[in-house]
Chain A
Amino acid sequence: MNLYEFEGKDLLKKYKIPTPAGVVIQREQADTIPADIAFPCVVKAQVQSGKRGKGGGVLFAQNIDELKTHVADLFSKKICNDTVLYVLVEAKKAIKQEYYLAITYNTQKKIPVVLFSAQGGMDIEQDSENVHVLDIDPLKGFEEFRMRELLVTAGARGKDVALIADTAKRLYRVFSGEDARLAEINPLAKLEDGSFVALDAKIILDEDAGFRHQWNKLGPRTTMGRLLTQREQAVRQVDAGEFYYRGTAGKYIEMDGDIACLFSGGGASISMMDALLKVGGKPANYTEYSGNPPREKVAALAKIVLSKPGLRGIWIVGGVANFTHIGNTMAGIADVLRELKPTIPIIIRSAGPHEAEGRKLMEKLAAELQLDLKWYGREISMTQTAEILMKKVNEQT
């Protein structure tokens, strides 16, 4: 889960990393600007992209009129394709130097790493030769002396060494204590008085650690650059609850197309999105269920996917399953087909345990309700059924 800058800064403050004083203005309160703002100030759109500076999302105001104009302006448009739900207003700081400080995982070494550069600011990813890396042994944790050594190597001197190392130590506490996948301060600014302050914060939380945090208290955020649709919100509830990790049926992203997709398996799902696009199909959604979800979970998911207006085809596809009960999962989808009686083409490719049961059920239902449904098993590949579906869909119009 991507945190907005102001949420990330709340976490930094919790671990006593200095941030500028600021106020958050919510979209629905855009007209009521707090009176206690000091000028000049910086006005920042809260979006999930790291490139908002170039996208016009960071503005400066000298007085209250400019501030009002900027706030209205940022809420009126998308910044980096993201709807702006919050604007953060902070006192503008006189900066002496900008540094880059981040902690994330190195997937090759399979450990956390601290990244530091004396040249912070934009385009840090393109400047990898100036980035210094400190490997962290998870069995030892963060060792501050190693950070000081790295800072000296990177050219830091005097008081800076101690202050930046202290910030890194605290940022590691944020990273491990809050279960982050990324904790980034860019820029970490040195002010005229020699102190350091985090001018930005980018924190990505590890959703799999949600059970040991209270993240449901965080405010709304965008997905795909917009607020969740009603159907997307509804699907999220499907996997909620104590046994959230037993069988997945809660992934659903709405898209602009007209082919309803019910994919079984994570790997199959992303490959079949590629396959559908390749034959000119436009997915109405991305959806995946896996891990042998119970009939009720599949039915709840299928109902939401298949009730999107404007569909022209339905594609139910999965690889040769290992242990997912095809009979049961198909029964969940059949419950919904019986209720909605779609008249558009339905193509199924499914195989695995109890596949005969699933096929019999679906073919019987198709005959009874006169559905335009065709079942394929393991004799053809998943990819081939994309073509078959699109041929049928195009014949109908």
Chain B
Amino acid sequence: MSIFIDEKTRLLIQGITGKEGQRAVTAAQSYHTQVVAGVTPGKGGQKVEGVPVYDTVAEATRKHPEINASAIYVPPFAVKDAVLEALAHDIKLINIMTERIPIADTASYLAAARAADARIIGPSSLGVISTGKARIGVAGGDKPDEIYQPGPVGVISRSGGMTNEVSWQLRQNNIGITTAVHIGGDMLMGTAYADALRAFENDSETKAVVIFGEMGGRYEFDIVELIQQGGFTKPLAIFIGGKFGASLPEGMTIGHAGAIIEKGKGSVESKEAALKSVGVLVVDIYEDLPKRIQEKL
């Protein structure tokens, strides 16, 4: 098994005719994933890598009722409308790749997704890869097999680049991966750590999870809460980057938008202590994630 996507995923790409959208088609097709349609308003009737383009999601889903996931590659100002369009046509998995979306727009479409019982991954996501089954986005680049081998570990990352780097470190230690998901670095995430952990908990093939985390926010305390409530019971190892941020003035954003230094939100040290208290393995350098999780497999 895997989480979020697998061999049954039938993908729509919104914003398919842009540079990023076109690359997404190739990336998905080259990794076991069927891209059945694309949407770019005003460009209906074209084809991208053999994939038909429609003006609206309504048309795309009418002609291809098998569509069950959408990847969003439209510019920041158009994202909210694109997500609402996908939700209106009953697409239940939406992976948003666009970066720098206004947070108010994100709060709004996330609320709409909750009402529609749909899952959003992102925004600012690089994508999701379920080893040997499917990928949305470009995790693993042009040679995903060099990094992603089947195995028992799930990967959650706040950083796109580090999704791949952490997966590579696992590979070097001969540890395979069920699904790696880049949840994005924004302040509000459709799928935060705790949401992804719930999904991995329900996946029988995933035996353990590693997280690449970043300072900022209080997302790690949500993990602690989830474990205390019994919502996640598998071994978990985490790395939290950005300790140096404690020396910066409050209100500074470094790395990703979510990594803002906010007053009263807990230091990396306080998060690590809370995580350790519920049995999470906390590492000081990211390449120790495979070593620590291996002991638990």
Residue B185 interfacial (CB < 8 Å): yes
Give B161-202 as 1s and 0s: 1 = Cβ < 8 Å from A's Cβ atoms: 111110011000000000000000101110010000000000
A61 at the interface (CB under 8 A from B): no
A353 touches B239 (CB 8 A): no
Q: Which residues of A contact B159 (CB under 8 A)?
A: 265-268, 319
Identity of the chain A residue whose Cβ is nearest the Cβ of B212 in the assembled complex: A267
Interface check B15, CB cutoff 8 A: no
Q: How large is the interface on A (under 10, 10 to 19, 20 to 34, 35 or more residues)?
A: 35 or more
Q: Is the pair B242, A274 in contact by a Cβ cutoff of 8 Å? A: yes
B190 to chain A, nearest CB (A): 8
With a cutoff of 8 Å between Cβ atoms, the chain B residues found around residue A253 in the complex are 252, 254
Q: What is the bound-complex CA distance between A381 and B111, given in angstroms?
A: 40
Could you tell me if B138 and A323 are in contact, using CB atoms closer than 8 angstroms?
A: yes
Q: A208-B101, A267-B212 are in contact. Are A273 and B244 (CB under 8 A)?
A: yes
Q: Is the interface of A mostly helix, strand, loop or mixed?
A: mixed
Q: CB distance A274 to B244 under 8 Å?
A: yes
Which residues from chain A contact B101 at a C-beta distance below 8 Å?
208
- Tell whether A269 pairs with B250 under 8 Å between CB atoms, given A107-B192, A110-B107, A320-B147: no
Query: Which residue from A81, A264, A381 sits with its C-beta under 8 Å from B169?
Result: A381
Asked whether, in the complex, the Cβ of A321 is within 8 Å of the Cβ of B141, the reply is: yes
Most chain A C-beta atoms within 10 Å of own C-beta, residue among B160, B250, B264: B160
- How many Å from the CB of A120 to the closest CB on chain B? 15
A244 in contact (CB, < 8 A) = yes
Which of chain A's residues has its CB closest to B23's CB? A323
A170, B247: Cα distance in complex, Å: 35
Question: Are B263 and A271 in contact, with the CB atoms below 8 A?
Answer: no
Query: In whole angstroms, what is the CA distance A125 to B218 when docked?
Result: 14
Q: Are B254 and A270 in contact (CB under 8 A)?
A: yes
- B249-A49 in contact (CB<8A): yes
Residues of A within 8 Å of B192, CB to CB, are 107-108
**What are 26 residue pairs bridging A and B, where the CB atoms are less than 8 Å apart in the complex?**
A49-B249, A50-B250, A105-B188, A110-B189, A125-B263, A138-B111, A139-B112, A206-B103, A208-B76, A208-B103, A224-B252, A245-B99, A265-B160, A265-B162, A266-B256, A270-B242, A271-B239, A273-B242, A286-B254, A288-B254, A319-B164, A319-B165, A319-B168, A322-B126, A322-B139, A381-B285
Known pairs A110-B189, A212-B102; list 19 more (Cβ under 8 Å). A105-B103, A105-B187, A111-B111, A125-B264, A126-B264, A138-B104, A181-B187, A206-B102, A208-B101, A266-B214, A267-B162, A270-B255, A274-B241, A320-B168, A322-B163, A351-B168, A352-B141, A381-B285, A383-B286
